[in-house]
Amino acid sequence: MERLASWINRLNERVGRCVSWLTLGLVLLVFTNVSLRYVFNLPLAWSKELEWHLFALIFLFGAGYSLRHDRHVRVDLFYEKADKADQRRINFWGTLIFLIPWCLVLIYSGWNAAVDAWKMGERSPEAAGLPNLWLIQFALPLGIGLLLLQGIAELIRSRTDVSE
């Protein structure tokens, strides 16, 4: 089980580091879009859509990385004041009861929506927009799949901590 958790950690580490470069690409794309729009009065629909796609990829494929490094968003009602043992229990039970089931729901529904979009040949509603809009929809089940894997790795890592 430890080997599985280690493999998942390495996978999300690599994906997270690769995705971090998309942030630079997004910044450069936004700068270019703003320059083209306001300096040259040349708005490009496809590049604006590409901004949304890059943001989605950063968010979705970075979620597992964020969980691995404990940098995810947390509703902090009790967690901050809890001792380390209670924090580990909260993480364990929160992952088991909330994270994993919701990941499974999102993977299932996201995959079905992406397949439907692919079958329809979904494309941008803008004439000059991106073709094959359905491609980005497959990022949801893939990104949430990485998050699910990291949740499993966290459970493996914390299984002995909870029994304390």
Q: Which DSSP helix (H) or strand (E) runs through 31? A: helix 2-38
Structure confidence at residue 160 (pLDDT): 56
Instruction: Provide the sign of the torsion angle of the four alpha carbons 56, 68, 2, 164, taken in this order.
Output: negative
DSSP letter for 40, please.
S
Q: pLDDT digits over 92-114, tens only?
A: 998 999 999 999 999 999 999 99
54 neighbors 136 (Cβ within 8 angstroms): no
pLDDT, averaged across the chain:
90
Name the token pair of 99: 């994270």
Structure confidence at residue 75 (pLDDT): 67
What span, in angstroms and rounded, lies between the C-alpha atoms of 100 and 147? 9
Q: Name which of 149, 69, 87, 139 is nearest 111 in CA terms.
A: 139
The domain segmentation of the chain, as residue ranges, is: 2-162
Q: pLDDT digits over 1-48, tens only?
A: 889 999 999 999 999 999 999 999 999 999 999 998 889 988 888 888
Q: pLDDT digits over 122-131, tens only?
A: 988 888 888 8
Residue 80 pLDDT class (50, 70, 90 cuts): confident
Residues in contact with 100: Cβ distance below 8 Å, sequence separation at least 6, in sequence order: 148, 151, 152, 155
